[in-house]
Amino acid sequence: MSQTRFRHARPGRSRLAATALLLALMLATACGSSSATATTEAVASLPTVTEATTEPTPTTPATPEATPTATEAAAPEPTAAPAGPVGWTVETFVSGLEIPWEMRFLPDGRIFVTERPGRVRVIEDGQLRPEPVATIPDVAPIGEGGLLGMALHPDFANNHWIYVYYTYPSGGGVANKVVRYTETNNTLVDPVVILDGIPGAQIHDGGRIAFGPDGKLYITAGDASQPDLAQDTNALAGKILRVNDDGSIPPDNPFPGSPVYSYGHRNPEGLAWQPGTNALYATEHGPSAHDEVNLIQPGANYGWPIMQGNEGPNNGYTLPVIESGSDTWAPSGATFVQGSTFPQWTGSLLYASLRGTTLWRLDIPGGGNPPNLEAIISGDYGRLRNVVEGPDGYLYILTSNRDGRGNPTPDDDRILRIVPQQ
């Protein structure tokens, strides 16, 4: 088994002044508590925003079980959703979590959840077990960092491999890495470093990891408060990365010998593949505005820090499918709805937002037609970190109200669940 390690890229002295100025502007980050004013209107028109047609009824039941393109990337044609909307309601699935970041459903029905302080928790038979599956010893849960993403190997049922992305102390600062564990009897053993040297910082650590339909592991890396690194294809910051399951580099990556798959990103936090097309979409934080959903193409440059959303000099950068304009979403985890439990949402991209405190549904019609954006739930549950479609067809949503930027209730943090209305 092999692993790939990269040096920490650092800006040269000639770039420090510019970086410092950019950092001063960006500290009012999209997931923070202050906002910046957009200087001009977005070039492209914003999508239509509608409210969900069926209002939820919140309940709390007993715990149940290589060359950038010069134009906007064209969205593939999605599969049409079946007709017939279904009423729905929101319930609390489990509570008592501490800053959950990712959840994964295991083949045997268990659910693993990462908590940013460094724990992997397990839910069995609808109950959050008091003892964690693992406590990662070298996690540095500072700022936006800590134990973040988690992914199951496509052949997890046989090899029991589970991958985690986390921030750790390094050289007087912090860095990020991906480590593979083997799960056995509700414990994680035999750690193997898959990818190291991903720059880290108090903010913009990225952290989402997921296996794609091609069997490769995709990793989002933020710019680690060094915006110029996003344009440097020799650095891992500000990128979407792609590696084999052992950390080696796929031969068809756009930059030979490099895990870099796309670049020019600020802080991407969501990855989702569209059913029927296998097109990869990613959510990305802008600087207190101009948050994005991007269609990811290998080797494409998404413009940060030269462009913010559709604003800035477009020197051949790939434009977002949609951006928030002067509003702030702070988008995080995302998923395409594949089941038919909620037929009105089948085929749509759902993504959670932190500062926006909204679960968004994005309809991507293809054929050059503008996307349609709908708020499914908004403002009722605070900061939303992730949304995952379960094997039961229900939608599971992680809150992030104990991260220092929210207003937690006694039950926070929670996993909410959207279920059909009875």
Instruction: Say if 25 falls within a structural domain.
Output: no
The owner of tokens 């699935």 is 93
Q: What is the pLDDT of residues 134-145, one digit of tens each?
A: 999 999 999 999
pLDDT band at 78 (very low <50, low <70, confident <90, very high): low
Question: Alpha carbon 239 to chain centroid distance?
Answer: 13
For residue 335, the domain's CATH number is 2.120.10.30
Q: Which of 204, 265, 285, 290 is catalytic?
A: 204
Instruction: Say if 215 falls within a structural domain.
Output: yes
**pLDDT higher for 122 or 315?**
122
**Euclidean distance between CA atoms 330 and 53, whole angstroms:** 24
Instruction: Say if 248 falls within a structural domain.
Output: yes
Helix (H) or strand (E) holding 351: strand 349-353
The 3-state secondary structure of 13-46, one letter per residue: HHHHHHHHHHHHHHCCCCCCCCCCCCCCCCCCCC
Domain limits for position 346:
45-420
Residue 153: active-site member: no
pLDDT at 83: 59
Q: Could you tell me where the DSSP H helices lie in 275-421?
A: none
Instruction: Say if 34 falls within a structural domain.
Output: no
Q: What is the pLDDT of residues 226-280, one digit of tens each?
A: 999 999 999 999 999 999 999 999 999 999 999 999 999 999 999 999 999 999 9
Nearest residue to 64 (alpha-carbon basis) of 105, 22, 93, 32 = 93
Angle at 155 between CA 153 and CA 156, to 5 degrees: 60
Instruction: Say if 5 falls within a structural domain.
Output: no
Determine the number of helices (DSSP H) and then strands (DSSP E) in the chain: 2, 27
pLDDT at 365: 85
Q: Which of 16-25, 64-73, 163-172, 359-368 comes out lowest in average pLDDT? A: 16-25
Give me the phi and psi of 231, to 5 degrees please.
-95, 0
pLDDT at 366: 78
- Per the structure, the count of domains in the chain is 1
Instruction: Say if 22 falls within a structural domain.
Output: no
Nearest residue to 395 (alpha-carbon basis) of 156, 144, 86 = 86
Longest dimension (CA), the chain: 63
The owner of tokens 């509608």 is 50
Instruction: Say if 279 falls within a structural domain.
Output: yes
Q: Could you tell me where the DSSP H helices lie in 149-292?
A: 156-159
**Amino acid, res. 356:** G
Instruction: Say if 28 falls within a structural domain.
Output: no
**Euclidean distance between CA atoms 155 and 284, whole angstroms:** 29
16, pLDDT greater than 90: no
As a whole number, mean pLDDT of residues 302-320 equals: 96
pLDDT over 90 percentage in the chain: 78
51, pLDDT greater than 90: no
CA distances from 213 to 154, 217, 277, 335 (A): 9, 10, 10, 14
**Euclidean distance between CA atoms 408 and 319, whole angstroms:** 36
On whether the CB atoms of residues 339 and 347 are closer than 8 A, the answer is no
pLDDT at 66: 40
30, pLDDT greater than 70: no
